[in-house]
Structure 1
Amino acid sequence: MKRILLAVVCCVLFLFGGSLSAKAVENTGSTLEKAAQLSDQALELAKEERYKEASEVLSYLLTQFGKSEEQAKLARAQQRLVDSTMETTLATLGKIEGTQEEKVERLTGVRLLLDAIVSDQQPLWKQMEYKVVNPLKRMQLTAKQGHSTEVQEATNEFLSNYYIVRPALSVDIAEETFAAVDDQVAFIEKMRSHSFQTKADQERLATATATLESVFTDEKEASEPSLFWLITSIGGIISATLFYVGWRKYRGEKTKLKETDKR
């Protein structure tokens, strides 16, 4: 299968690599797909501690996304969620006292959210299963053992990772399921100060763990990537590159304007 996929990639690049015009590429992939790819650029910049550039990419993305026809097709709640998530992330990137971890987490949330909106299968947030569920299991174990310090550490890790993935979950799972998950998380936040010492609390914690595990495993899993997915991914990467070039051009024009004003 891997050889077949490699052959397909080579064929696609050979047939289209030298002949795609900018106009043709611009029509490849949706604005949302381009936005998802561009959010990945911002995330990588933040990982390199290039926060100003990451903010500029995200600001450009927010502006372009707001103008797109596809943004208007989203449900009103989804529009508000995307806007508020990006705006909160921009505010975090602008904080001088903010840590790199906090900034990367915020941008990861944006990336997962946009991917959840555009992906029909294998959303990226599913890759967070271990980071979300494993701390919950540690909370169960250490609560039974009466190790309150370890319980608090595991709770901090769980909540941090849950709030990264929460925006994506809110648009990608059934409304009643999301409400149930949020209810379980609210219980964890409320009872954490007691370190889940009672049997009732520990049973509720086990229920929360089972609920979140089901969220990560209850979707249809594709055993092999489809040819359509592969070609779409290649198109999305090419589109994102041109989208990024557009941002660079936009940034350059702004810089020139500032220099002209100074003169």
Structure 2
Amino acid sequence: MKRKTFIFIMIFMMLFPYVVSSQTTDDWKKLDQISDEALRLAKNKRFEEAKQVLTHFSEEFFKLNARERLKSMDELYVVTITHESALKTVTAATLPAEERVEDVTRFRLVIDAIRSDHQPLWSEMEHSIMAAFYRMKKAVENRNMQAFQSSFQLFLNQYEMIEPSVKIDVAPERFKRVAANIELLEAPAFSRLSPDSQLKQLLQMEQDLQALFDGVKKDEADPSLWWVIISTGSIIILTLSYVGWRKYRGEKEKNKLHEKE
């Protein structure tokens, strides 16, 4: 009886952190599904229903105490700002439907970025963002600043969609480099640079942009999965060692009994 109790206690102690982690994952999965439902409704122009779902998200967020499970105040800030923006604009009849959907999309991407360990949804926008960037680059090569400005605006509209999520998933130094590149392109001084200098700046920006997406492409195994593998192996080793020790002790006592006889 004591042996079974000992094994049970050891197994519980080793699996308890995983149980807690699993509960946290389930809670964020629920919030992720709510944000996805809000976006689905917004895309179908069911904006009033989308607003109700976004309000429900707030209720569940506090109910599940999700705030305490965020990694930093920066994450809380991003979630709060994008949620408030989506809630405010989703039923704003004066705004174009596309803009309202964009705000809900921005919020949806943030929640996914917090929940996903790898391959977040925002990284799937790489093709469209880089395509807009290459149009900018082509315009500079052709020395067409008017085409550059229109391409740059298109690029900004798409990048701003993923920017809050990038802040969550990407190392600060990488994010800051892209932000600095954008700031330089927005400045009037950029248009006064020589075409060669402009192109040089864009080449640097291309590398920094690509680094953002490359940083999240590594499809590594879920850390919790590795924990389970290690923990299970440890439990098996521990159990076998204990059983082996009990067997050895039993054999030893048995031999002593034979010697007495």
TM-score calculated relative to the size of structure 1:
0.70
Alpha-carbon shift at residue 189 of structure 1 (Å): 2.3
Deviations 1:15-44 (A, max 9, x none): xxxxxxxxxxxx694322211121111111
Q: 2:210 aligns with which of 201, 209, 213?
A: 213
Alpha-carbon shift at residue 192 of structure 1 (Å): 8.9
For residues 132 and 195 of structure 1, the distance between their equivalents in structure 2, rounded to whole angstroms, comes to 25
Q: 1:136 aligns with which of 133, 145, 166?
A: 133
Paired residue for 2:257? Answer: none
- Amino acid in the other structure paired with 2:95: G
> How many matched pairs?
203
1:54 to 2:50 alignment: yes
Higher relative contact order (CA 8 A, sep 6+): 1
The worse-fitting range, judged by mean Cα deviation, of 70-79 and 49-58 is: 70-79
- Amino acid in the other structure paired with 2:40: E
3-state SS in 2 of match to 1:30: helix
3-state SS in 1 of match to 2:130: helix
For the pair shown, the structure with the greater C-alpha radius of gyration is: 2
Go from structure 1 to structure 2 and tell me whether the alpha carbon gap of 1:56 and 1:184 turns closer, same or farther (over 3 Å shift): same
Paired residue for 2:109? Answer: 112
Contact 2:118 2:220 in 1 (8 A): no
Alpha-carbon shift at residue 54 of structure 1 (Å): 0.7
- Amino acid in the other structure paired with 2:132: P
Alpha-carbon shift at residue 187 of structure 1 (Å): 1.7
Go from structure 1 to structure 2 and tell me whether the alpha carbon gap of 1:118 and 1:192 turns closer, same or farther (over 3 Å shift): farther
Go from structure 1 to structure 2 and tell me whether the alpha carbon gap of 1:66 and 1:184 turns closer, same or farther (over 3 Å shift): farther
1:73 to 2:50 alignment: no
Go from structure 1 to structure 2 and tell me whether the alpha carbon gap of 1:220 and 1:96 turns closer, same or farther (over 3 Å shift): closer
Paired residue for 2:168? Answer: 171
- Amino acid in the other structure paired with 2:37: Q
Note the aligned Cα RMSD (angstroms). Answer: 2.7
TM-score calculated relative to the size of structure 2:
0.70
For residues 78 and 132 of structure 2, the distance between their equivalents in structure 1, rounded to whole angstroms, comes to 26
Paired residue for 2:90? Answer: 93
Paired residue for 2:180? Answer: 183
For residues 215 and 168 of structure 1, the distance between their equivalents in structure 2, rounded to whole angstroms, comes to 11
Paired residue for 1:153? Answer: 150
Paired residue for 2:20? Answer: none
Paired residue for 1:222? Answer: 219
Q: Percent identity?
A: 29
1:41 to 2:37 alignment: yes
For residues 65 and 201 of structure 2, the distance between their equivalents in structure 1, rounded to whole angstroms, comes to 44
Alpha-carbon shift at residue 63 of structure 1 (Å): 2.6
For residues 189 and 102 of structure 2, the distance between their equivalents in structure 1, rounded to whole angstroms, comes to 22
Alpha-carbon shift at residue 208 of structure 1 (Å): 1.0
For residues 162 and 192 of structure 2, the distance between their equivalents in structure 1, rounded to whole angstroms, comes to 24
For residues 29 and 166 of structure 2, the distance between their equivalents in structure 1, rounded to whole angstroms, comes to 18
Deviations 1:102-152 (A, max 9, x none): 111111111111111111111111101012111111101111212233212
- Amino acid in the other structure paired with 1:70: A
Alpha-carbon shift at residue 66 of structure 1 (Å): 2.9
